[in-house]
Structures are given as C-alpha cells and as structure tokens.
Amino acid sequence: MGLVDQKSAVFKQFIERLPPHIVASFSEAQLNAMQKALEPRAWRQHPVDLRLSVPLLWKRFYVVLVAGPERRTPDRRASDRSAQALWTSGNLIVMFLVSLAGVLMLSGLLHISSISLSPLLEQQEAAPVGIPFKADKTSCEESGRTWRENQCIDYEHDPTF
C-alpha cells in the first residue's frame, strides 16, 4: 500500500473513510483512477478571467466571468448543460438586469448624442468687440465692421469664436 502514502490529502481522507477490507481489495490501477478522479481540476489560464466580489444589500456576492477557447468534449458540455441549467430564476433575473442596464446606457448615450448645443449658443446675444488687427478705418469698414472712436468694432461677433 505504498502508493496510497504518496496520494493527495483528499485521497488519503477518502481512503481513511472506507472500511480497511474494501481498501485492501483495490488494485493499484483502481487506486490511481480514484486518485485522479478526486484531484481538483487545475484552473487553466483564460484570455478573459474577471473575478469580482460585490456588496449588495446585506450580503456579498461574487461574480466570475471566464472566457476562452472551448476545450471541453461534447460529452462534457452535455453533462454540464444537464447539471447546470441555464434557465433558472436566478439566471433569468441577472440576464434581465444586465439587459436593462445595457438598454438604459444605450438610450442615455443616444439622448446625449442628440442634444444640440446650438440652441444654448443662439440664446447668447452678440456683444460688440474691438478688432485689434484692423488699425485703420478703410480696412475695418471693408471687412463689414464699424469704425468708432478710432477703433474697429464688430457688432456681430460670434460668442463661440
């Protein structure tokens, strides 16, 4: 039984819970197969691996999003589908809330992009302003401005200029 001594702690605990006469009846191949079945699967690296702990109301919830290339066999995927149903009430609520948040954000963005600043700017009246680069009456009046008190004045100055 030297192989059992080399096994993981989980496997040792499993073997210790079995009656000794049952353990003695296992072959080395059976012990290896049981150990492999009891080993926790290594969590592989994924291109997307987000893990969040979110406080909601009086509890903390965790959210995990893992994405990457599909590596499971068709049998394993079928087994996972039957063991973890997609259409549970909790899943439906989360899908609804995520969809609602997406729709609200999209409508907010559309509303913000439709707001025009021109009505706000049209409300401002043009204020007369001196044009310093028009130093003589002729060039001032040729540009459509008014010469007053030795200064070129623009009465139609755009406030957004």
Asked whether residue 108 is assigned to any structural domain, the reply reads: no
Q: Is the pLDDT of residue 148 over 90?
A: no
Asked whether residue 129 is assigned to any structural domain, the reply reads: yes
Contact 136, 142 (CB under 8 A): no
Domains: count for the chain: 2
Calculate mean pLDDT across residues 133-150. Answer: 86
For the chain, give the number of residues. Answer: 161
Asked whether residue 6 is assigned to any structural domain, the reply reads: yes
Contact 68, 47 (CB under 8 A): yes
Give me the helix-helix angle, 9-17 and 28-38, nearest 10°: 120
pLDDT score, position 5: 45
Asked whether residue 44 is assigned to any structural domain, the reply reads: no
- Supply the pTM of this predicted model: 0.43
Residue 30, domain extent = 2-38
Asked whether residue 109 is assigned to any structural domain, the reply reads: no
